[in-house]
A and B are shown apart, each in its own frame.
Chain A
């Protein structure tokens, strides 16, 4: 199987901007400023393929679990940067008139770097960019490969629970949205000439270690 690495211009520029920002604001790499986070939740993904053969139908992932692992570093008061690995195994369903049917499965892996702004001690927002890859058996839309790495952009809003137990374990609730454009070699062979924007929304519960605990105001 041949992997094709494709980066769209906007994602390359976005990643470059993040890199420039991190260079301009070098973090003081004190161990107490670095924290590790694990998040678990559920993810909805919009339609991967909309097609019509006699009648119209959609190929859409089922509601799926999402697991995120992050390393976060405080840049300066109120700001932090992070690197996040995001894994999400999902079933694939074909939705057509008369029902919804199994159409295989896949797992996505996404790596993003992000910039987080802490607005209050409990609330923060994140913007991130990175790349995402589908892993699947070579059948169906993935029969000629998974399409390589897709550029990905994401935004998230996070709320740290103001409870003693939650603050001790840095437990946060996060709503995360990301977008990428999806197409595979098999879809190109079939005649699709451009990729489709795919939106993903996840609701996550996050726990953290290190970094002095709690969000930075």
Chain B
């Protein structure tokens, strides 16, 4: 009986060592690189922060709740990755930052957000400063957030909800998702209406951080 028992256990171990799982299909990533046709050539601008530059240093404007917005957005993007490809940290020294996030003009009040969709409550822009070669950044990435005042004004709670979405969206650009998604279910849609990245945003940023960049980061 004893030998049979041992043999059973050994066979069980051997059976447990069977085949590897299949790698899942990652289709669904949208175009994240900028392309430009110059004459007969197609120029591809693909930027991502290299592993050697992790953690990426984000400096939030000290006014209002920008620090909260940036910390939240960094955490959201970090959570999209399974294998530690992206790490970000919020820093207090703007001269030691890779990404600067600032209010363009007025500072919105820090109130509980009203997540009811309300278009045109806020806006943002992310700017990359390329060096003379066009293949490297000359300095930190600049992100600017603004409260939109045209038309019927949004409530402070609607502005706050919009800022939360928009901070994730603009930090997505700063990570290298240079283009907008064509689908409104994605946080990288031109005028984002969802609160978190979709599975297509996730797929896209995953693929981006395993792709070979054509643009180098700024000097540290």
Q: Which residues of A contact B (CB under 8 A)?
A: 10-11, 13-14, 17, 21, 24, 49-55, 57, 59, 79, 92, 94, 96, 99, 101-104, 115, 117, 127, 129, 139-141, 143, 153-155, 179-181, 183, 186-187, 190-197, 199
Q: A94-B83, A192-B22 are in contact. List 6 more A-B contacts (CB 8 A).
A: A13-B12, A21-B1, A49-B82, A54-B207, A129-B9, A191-B25
Contact call B82/A10, Cβ cutoff below 8 A = no
Q: Which stretch from B13-21, B64-72, B174-182 is at the chain A interface?
A: B13-21
Cα distance A94–B16 in the bound complex, in angstroms? 24
B127 close to A (CB within 8 Å): no
Q: Which residues of B contact A52 (CB under 8 A)?
A: 23
Q: Is the CB of A54 within 8 A of B211?
A: yes
Selected contact of B83 from candidates A51, A79, A196, CB within 8 Å: A51
- Contact pick for B21, options A53, A195, A199, CB 8 Å: A195
User: Hey, which chain A residues are within 8 Å of B9, CB to CB?
Assistant: 14, 17, 127, 129, 153
In contact, A179 and B79 (Cβ under 8 angstroms): no
Per-residue CB contact flags for chain B residues 198-218 toward chain A (1 = under 8 Å, else 0) read 000000001101111000000
With most chain B CB atoms within 10 A of its CB, the pick from A24, A54, A59 is: A54
Residue of B nearest to A21 (CB): B5
Residues of A contacting B26 in the complex (Cβ-Cβ under 8 angstroms): 53, 191
Q: Determine how close the nearest CB of chain B comes to the CB of A1; give it in whole angstroms.
A: 15
From B12, B78, B83, B85, residue with most partner A Cβ within 10 Å: B83
Mask, B73-107, CB within 8 Å of A = 1, is 00000110111110000000000000000000000
